[in-house]
């Protein structure tokens, strides 16, 4: 994308007015999406975006500028703007030399040749198959929307420490949303699959199955009763979302919150913060999961980080800036949405290691509670630890059996309290993809867990 | 602490490639001129500048300056739509983007309702959304404002133990829209905002809150207002305990009420209605709310944050009545959804910049103020007993504008004897949107134009389920 001598000159220019660290992050992203709605292929969209973000760190201050102009002149202008924070006037001349992190270039998403964007005709076929499968699931299915998106993101990172790294990331995603209608009103169901992989994802993923799951969810809720209100035991199904850990502790373990003393987990390394059944890992190297990459957006290789080991907090997640402050190295969690954004500490694939109990047995041993088959999104206040997560498919558990479907509701809890209430973990582990939003930036993440039980969570339904 | 002595210039001349306001129109006209016979082409070109400053602990944590620009092209051939965009205004991308949009169109299903907007004769309101002075505010002044905001918040109250972030941001956007169907529109606007997030501490317990101030330019910003709002809200939550379950009347703070209206608005989209994704579908003329509920979307009101002369298809924005005294009166349409419903566009197309396609949506929702003329205290006094919600979480995961199911996390204060009493946290508030509209108890007259698509007004809604201990 940009030749090394140009990168070296731009980095030198970025440090001309002072500063300890300079970085060029260049990105070339192309994306395409297709949407089928209301029985019609409504829209195919293609986009192309390329540019570079340049940051200069001087003391506690980061200067950042970005440009869509990747010519040397364009990069030098951005370097000049980013260096405005460092006009300390020491006038020294920095010489920067960059060397590749690893020979060859990194690839995220398959071992084969660089994945293509899939032919448009093939994409349409997938969308129609999903539409058909969803509509065949029941006469009450009144609306179906299916979407397919693919992106290829090539990144190049060079910094004044001499690092030069790149990654070529292909991602694919397919989703189905259904509406079911009855005299009880409208209900919705959603399912998606997403991988760090090209079009070959569809060799592994059946879009008809996704459509049937989405349709089934909408249909089952037509006869659902309002969710209970108040505290009850909750069994989360394996692969129901894993968002519990993402919200209950994942965000709170991000070092940017820690160094600002804005997390309920600040100063708790070495302490018991969860049930001994909890071993929580964040791992950007897992197969072709949605949160996987070769190097992060600061050029650091993705790695596996154990955050909680048998209930004991072992470490936080780090990016370059926060790690530097603490005199350590990044954990490979510096990510950004695009070249127009500053990197910050983000999760990758965050999951609970499976336990050895039987999922059905866990339900059987729950006299009364709520069984959550699928979770939607969630949100957390890292400072107080209070978090919510929403159900999109849930049932009552009565007498150790899964019985009536429940309408959607949010569940609310406090991270450190809820993590201690996990009293059973099964072995039926599965991952799900999600989009994580933080401070205005969205990045792809994975969440995973096996079936587990929480001894009590507040359920925000309307039934008294 | 780093002092920024000289920043990027604040001026907004043509960029390196020569894209000033007139140049944007020229680009749009030129590319639209490449349309072939039998093709409708719409070209949307936009360019923006932004500056962001974040202060932390008495220093500048980050200073960002940037320019961005791009083009979005829609092509309609034989009632098939194709779209492509590029995040660049370099000459070389135009032809490639048009060709890609053209290719995409060949794959769409023909649909008689798919068409571009045509001029409808409605004259746009002239609204000045451009603050000329913003361009000449030195970066040092912006940095000083962020540092000042951070310092004020840190020292405002001994119980404030941290200022998580204090931000200043501003930007300008210019756009031009040209189509072969006769649309020719351009607009420009500036925005400035400050915001601060604080952490209040009392023993082991912490509480957080934020405050902000927004305007068209630097001079509109009020740091003391932002700071007081954040500090007051965080400090009054100290000592909060998990609330108790039960049914109650809930008073929603103005900011929270604005979010509520935004959620309801997605059920008022003509597209959602046409596709059976709205609980309002088929209910025009029916009672959907309390008689005190009158809702309009009026982007011609220059005080609205979302005010605009043109919609995202280049038609004049206009005032649209949606709910009148509890009776559902109308939906919001763009050209395609209007055609589907057999009506004209209501000038309500919105789009997410050059990388998005238009669809119907709200820009400036407001409720008619209640006849009692209540401010927040007035609403609290009228309600007497209940729950005051200061912030909501999980709106995206617990509010479904299709089914109407409503369940959100909340923190706030109990209302006792018509006044704010003890703080509560870690509770949920639930009902359905349908029932909430019918259970409206009071609408405040305290209209405040907030960032987003809806004004803020204190709202009281009866018979909601609280879940706690």
Q: Over the stretch B142-160, which tens digit does the pLDDT of each residue have? A: 999 999 999 999 999 999 9
Domain boundary among B207, B236, B265: B236
Of B236, B251, B279, the last residue of a domain is B236
The answer to whether the CB atoms of B405 and A58 lie below 8 A apart is no
Same domain, B268 and B231: no
pLDDT of B14 over the 80 cut: no
pLDDT for A98: 80
**Do B259 and B343 belong to one domain?**
yes
Query: Does residue B14 lie in a domain region?
Result: no
Residue B3 lies in a domain: no
A412, B409: Cβ pair inside 8 Å? yes
Residue B350 domain-assigned?
yes
Q: Please tell me the predicted confidence (pLDDT) of residue B12.
A: 39
Of chain B, the end-to-end C-alpha distance in Å amounts to 47
Residue B395 lies in a domain: yes
Statement to judge: residues B187 and B251 lie in one domain:
no
How many cross-chain Cβ pairs, A to B, lie less than 8 Å apart? 287
Please indicate, yes or no, whether residues B220 and B306 belong to a single structural domain of this protein.
no
In angstroms, the separation between the Cα of residue A356 and the nearest Cα of chain B is 31
Res A105 pLDDT > 90? no
B266 plus B230 within the same structural domain = no
Is B118 in the same domain as B197? yes
The parent domain of residue B285 ranges over 241-467
Smallest CA-to-CA distance from A84 within A13, A25, A27, A23 is with: A13
The answer on B205 and B172 residing in a single domain is yes
**pTM of structure:** 0.94
Partner B contacted by A69 (CB < 8 A): yes
> Chain A closest CA to B274's CA: distance in Å?
9
Distance CA B145, CA B198 (A): 17
Average pLDDT over residues B422-430: 97
Lowest model confidence (mean pLDDT) among A80-84, A103-107, B227-231: A103-107
Q: Look at residue B373 and give its three-state secondary structure.
A: coil
Residues B152 and B247 in one domain: no
Q: What is the mean pLDDT of residues B357-363?
A: 97
SS3 for chain A is CCCHHHHHHHHHHHCCCCCCEEEEEEEEEEEEEEEEECCEEEEEEEEEEEEEEEEEEECCEEEEEEECCCCHHHHHHHHHHHHHHHCCCCCCCCCCCCEECCCCCEEECCCCCCCCCCCHHHHHHHHHHHHHHHHHCCCCEEEEEEEEEEEEEEEEEEECCCEEEEEEEEEEEEEEEEEEEECCEEEEEEEEEEECCCCCHHHHCCHHHHHHHHHHHHHHHCCCECCEEEEEEEEECCCCCCHHHHHHHHHHHEHHHHHCCCCCCCCCCCCECCCCCCCEEEECCCCCCCCCCCECCCCCECCEEEEEECCEECCCECCHHHHHHCCCCCCCCEECCCCCCCCEECCCEEEECCCCECHHHHHHCCCEEEEEEEEEEEEECCCCCEEEEEEEEEEEEECCEEEEEECCCEEEEEHHHHHCCEEEEECCCEEEEEEEEECCEEEEEEEEECCEEEEEEEEECCEC
Task: Please tell me the distance in Å from A293's CA to the nearest CA on chain B.
Answer: 24
Q: Tell me the shortest Cα–Cα distance from A289 to chain B, in angstroms.
A: 23
Chain A residue numbers with beta carbons less than 8 Å from the beta carbon of B274 are 38
Closest Cα of chain B to A33: distance in Å?
10
Alpha-carbon span A431 to B267, nearest angstrom: 32
Whether pLDDT at A101 is above 90: no
Say whether both B67 and B138 belong to one domain.
yes
Write down the pLDDT at residue A95.
Answer: 74
Q: In this structure, is residue B341 part of a structural domain? A: yes
Residue ending a domain, among B236, B269, B287, is: B236
Residue B15 within a domain = no
Domains of chain A: 4-31+42-105 (no CATH), 107-153+166-220 (3.30.2290.10), 229-460 (no CATH)
The total of structural domains in chain B comes to 2
Please answer whether residues A254 and A316 qualify as being in contact, where contact means their C-beta atoms are separated by less than 8 angstroms: yes
Question: B-chain residues within 8 Å CB-CB of A48?
Answer: 85-88, 93, 96-97
Q: Is B301 found in the same domain as B231? A: no
CB-CB under 8 Å, A390 with B397: yes
Residue A275 has pLDDT above 80, yes or no: yes
Mean pLDDT within A179-204: 95
B153 close to B145: Cβ distance less than 8 angstroms: no
CB contact under 8 A, B393 and A381: yes
Please, which residues 160-219 of chain A have a Cβ atom closer than 8 Å to chain B? 179, 181, 185-188
Judge whether residue B17 has pLDDT over 50: no
**Residue from A390, A411, A417 to probe the interface with B (highest B Cβ count within 10 Å):** A390
pLDDT above 80 for A109: no
Determine, yes or no, domain membership for B8.
no
In a domain, B16, yes or no: no
Percent of chain B with pLDDT over 90: 93
B259, B350: one domain = yes
Structure tokens at B97: 């983007």
The verdict on a CB contact (< 8 Å) between A378 and B402 is no
Q: Answer whether A261 touches B (CB < 8 Å).
A: yes
Q: Are residues B96 and B146 in the same domain?
A: yes
Mean per-residue pLDDT, A15-25: 95
Residues B303-338, buried b or exposed e (16+ Cβ, 10 A)?
Answer: ebbbbbbbbbbbbbbbebebbbebbbbbbbbbbbbb
Predicted confidence band at B15 (pLDDT cuts at 50, 70, 90)? very low
Instruction: Using CA coordinates, name the residue in chain B closest to A27.
Output: B87
């Amino acid at each position: 994308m940009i030749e090394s001598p140009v990168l070296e000159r731009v980095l030198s220019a970025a440090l001309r007015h002072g500063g300890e660290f300079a970085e060029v992050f260049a990105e070339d992203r192309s994306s395409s999406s297709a949407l089928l709605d209301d029985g019609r292929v409504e829209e195919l969209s293609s986009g192309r975006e390329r540019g570079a973000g340049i940051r200069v760190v001087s003391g506690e201050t980061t200067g950042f500028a970005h440009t869509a102009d990747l010519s040397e002149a364009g990069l030098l202008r951005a370097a000049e703007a980013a260096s405005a924070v460092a006009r300390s006037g020491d006038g020294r001349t920095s010489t920067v030399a960059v060397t590749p992190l690893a020979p060859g270039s990194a690839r995220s998403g398959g071992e084969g040749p660089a994945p293509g964007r899939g032919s448009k005709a093939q994409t349409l076929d997938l969308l129609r198959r999903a539409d058909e499968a969803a509509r065949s699931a029941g006469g009450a299915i009144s609306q179906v929307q299916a979407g397919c998106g693919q992106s290829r993101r090539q990144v190049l990172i060079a910094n004044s420490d001499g690092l030069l790294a790149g990654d070529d990331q292909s991602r694919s995603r397919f989703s189905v949303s259904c509406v079911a209608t009855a005299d009880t009103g409208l209900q919705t169901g959603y399912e998606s699959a997403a991988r760090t992989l090209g079009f070959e994802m569809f060799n592994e993923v059946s879009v008809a199955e996704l459509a049937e799951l989405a349709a089934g969810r909408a249909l089952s809720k037509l006869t659902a009763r309002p969710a209970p209100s108040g505290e009850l035991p909750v069994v989360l199904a394996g692969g129901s979302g894993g968002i519990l850990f993402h919200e209950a502790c994942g965000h709170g373990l991000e070092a940017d919150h820690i160094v600002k003393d804005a997390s309920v987990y600040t100063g708790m390394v070495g302490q018991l913060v969860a049930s001994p059944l909890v071993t929580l890992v964040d791992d950007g190297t897992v197969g072709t999961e949605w949160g996987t990459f070769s190097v992060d957006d600061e050029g650091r290789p993705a790695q596996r980080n154990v955050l909680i080991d048998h209930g004991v907090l072992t470490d936080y997640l780090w990016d370059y800036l926060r790690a530097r402050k603490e005199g350590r190295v990044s954990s490979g969690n510096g990510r950004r949405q695009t070249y127009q954004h500053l990197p910050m500490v983000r999760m990758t694939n965050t999951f609970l290691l499976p336990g050895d109990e039987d999922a059905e047995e866990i339900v059987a041993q729950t006299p009364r509670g709520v069984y959550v088959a699928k979770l939607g999104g969630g949100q957390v206040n890292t400072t107080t630890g209070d978090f919510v997560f929403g159900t999109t498919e849930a049932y009552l558990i009565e007498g150790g059996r899964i019985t009536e479907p429940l309408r959607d509701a949010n569940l609310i809890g406090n991270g450190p309290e809820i993590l201690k209430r996990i009293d059973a973990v099964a072995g039926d582990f599965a991952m799900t993809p999600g989009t994580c939003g933080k401070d205005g930036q969205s990045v792809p993440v994975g969440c995973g867990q096996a079936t587990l039980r929480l001894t009590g969570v507040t359920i925000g339904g309307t039934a008294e | 602490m780093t002092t920024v002595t000289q920043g990027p210039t604040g001026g907004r001349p043509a960029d390196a490639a020569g894209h000033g306001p007139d140049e944007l129109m020229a680009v749009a006209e030129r590319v639209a001129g490449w349309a072939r016979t039998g093709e409708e082409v719409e070209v949307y070109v936009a360019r923006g500048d932004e500056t962001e400053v974040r202060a932390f602990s008495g220093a500048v944590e980050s200073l960002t300056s940037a320019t961005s620009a791009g083009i979005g092209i829609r092509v309609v051939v034989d009632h098939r739509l194709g779209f492509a965009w590029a995040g660049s205004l370099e000459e070389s991308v135009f032809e490639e983007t048009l060709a890609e949009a053209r290719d995409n169109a060949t794959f769409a299903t023909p649909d008689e309702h798919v068409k571009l907007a045509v001029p409808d004769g409605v004259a746009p309101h002239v609204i000045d959304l451009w603050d000329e002075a913003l361009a000449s505010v030195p970066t040092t002044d912006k940095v000083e404002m962020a540092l000042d905001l951070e310092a004020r918040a840190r020292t405002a109250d001994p119980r404030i133990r941290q200022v998580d972030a204090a931000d200043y941001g501003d930007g300008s956007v210019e756009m031009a829209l040209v189509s072969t169907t006769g649309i020719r529109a351009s607009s420009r606007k500036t925005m400035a905002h400050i915001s601060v997030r604080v952490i209040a501490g009392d023993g082991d317990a912490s509480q957080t809150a934020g405050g902000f101030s927004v305007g068209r330019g630097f001079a509109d910003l009020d740091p003391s207002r932002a700071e007081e709002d954040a500090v007051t809200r965080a400090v009054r939550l100290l000592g909060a305990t998990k609330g108790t379950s039960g049914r109650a009347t809930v008073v929603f703070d103005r900011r929270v009420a604005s979010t509520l209206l935004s959620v309801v608005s997605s059920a008022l989209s003509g597209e959602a209605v046409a596709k059976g994704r709205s609980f309002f579908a088929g209910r025009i003329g029916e009672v959907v709310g309390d008689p005190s509920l009158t809702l309009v979307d009026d982007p011609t009101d220059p005080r609205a944050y979302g005010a605009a002369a043109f919609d995202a298809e280049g038609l004049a924005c206009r005032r649209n009545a949606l709910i009148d005294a509890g009776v559902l009166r109308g939906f919001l349409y763009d050209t395609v959804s209007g055609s589907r419903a057999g009506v004209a566009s209501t000038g309500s197309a919105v789009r997410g910049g050059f990388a998005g396609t238009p669809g119907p949506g709200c820009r400036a929702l407001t409720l008619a103020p209640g006849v009692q003329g209540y401010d927040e205290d007035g609403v609290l006094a009228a309600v007497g007993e209940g729950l005051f919600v200061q912030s909501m979480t999980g709106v995206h995961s617990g509010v479904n504008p299709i089914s109407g199911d409503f369940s959100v996390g909340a923190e706030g204060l109990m209302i006792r004897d018509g006044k704010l009493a003890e703080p509560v946290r870690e509770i949920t508030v639930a009902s359905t949107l349908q029932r909430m509209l019918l259970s409206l108890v009071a609408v405040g007259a305290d209209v405040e134009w907030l960032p987003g698509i809806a004004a803020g007004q204190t709202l009281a809604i009866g018979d909601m389920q609280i879940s706690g201990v």
